Amino acid sequence: MATPPLIFVLNGPNLNLLGTREPEIYGSDTLDEISARMVEQADRLGVELDIRQSNHEGHLIDWLHEAQARGAKAVIINPGGYSHTSVALHDAVKSISTPVIEVHLSDPERRESFRHTDLVALAASHVIKGQGAKGYLSALDAAARL
């Protein structure tokens, strides 16, 4: 039996606090709840997920490199605040041939002006924003279609 295609799901800083952190912006779903729905959908789509979260920029960069090395079909990433500040994360996304889909629960362009620049989006294959937790499922559908 063939191994199902692998999709990495990488979550950046403060996403471990979902459900309690500013629910009026990010919703009341926890990262574990979002991940569980993603796993259910992945089973239906016939793909395997490797879901991770870190508050450390270097971990996200290492995991992007690992996704490439392991032959992942795609990476779904919510870089959190690093979207707006990390040239290194931008460069890591740009340096791999694995397609990267960026997800944001809120729409950064409708928030504070410092969130309007998205460095990761400049290198990502696709960006999904403002759909809340459903954005992760939209990203998974898009990744599975690649």
Q: Give me the active site residues, please.
A: 26, 104
List the structure tokens of 78. 């919510």
Parallel, antiparallel, or unpaired for β 74-78 and 126-129?
unpaired
Would the annotation count 115 as a binding residue? yes
Would the annotation count 91 as a binding residue? yes
Best CA proximity match to 60, nearest among 38, 35, 85, 36:
85
Would the annotation count 37 as a binding residue? no
Would the annotation count 89 as a binding residue? no
Residue length of the chain: 146
Gyration radius from the chain CA atoms: 14
Would the annotation count 107 as a binding residue? no
Binding-site members are: 78, 84, 91, 105-106, 115
User: Which residue positions form the known binding site for substrate?
Assistant: 78, 84, 91, 105-106, 115
